[in-house]
Homo-oligomer: A and B are copies of this chain.
């Protein structure tokens, strides 16, 4: 599988360099390698020729993860079409955070992919709403991210074929942040957590979700470790988990 990272903020923005000195792709790849024994993880970035996504690389890629933001517009259309064809032909695609406005995601969704947003480092809680889904295997209910950019509804995507996670933010917004789509023979997962200004990709639970998604996107599955479907008279989450 191939981890694609734009890798521009990490080179040019001091605040990001400090958090991700080796690029966001480093913890993303490390998490996949830790969770999926024997996974062969390749990294490709924007600056490489053909953005590192040559015909040969894509032909050898069963799942591709995608993180981009600043250079969405500069990704070459021919590469986008190449990835699009590979997805319809059966390659898995895991689109991360700001990748919701990438050409490839918008091409596959057919909608504007716009959303509400706000950057003030709010706490995010990621709730599993599909406990039988392999991508939710082994994750806590909820995953708590201490500081994150807010992404809120309405998120202009097609209704997800499988809705796995819904997030809430301190400001009261909700977001369908873990969404599966089937297109052609390919499986697509969009996962909203992760931002260049916060160390989200170092969180083991987030790494676990991405690894689960890589396995699912390839038609494999990790060990089945179903989350609790416990129903209870619940204590106030933040009272018990003060930030």
Contact = CB atoms under 8 A, between A and B. Distances in A.
Copies in the complex: 4
Given A114-B231, A220-B221, A123 B172 contact: yes
Contact of A236 (B114, B118, B231): B118
A160 to B, nearest CB: 9
Interface in A85-140: 88-90, 107-112, 114-118, 120, 123, 125, 127-134, 137
A18 B238 CA distance: 32
Contacts of A128: 153-154
Interface stretch (A25-33, A180-188, A195-203): A180-188
A13 interface: no
A186 B229 CA distance: 11
Contacts of A205: none
Nearest to A182: B132
A221 B182 CA distance: 17
A234 interface: yes
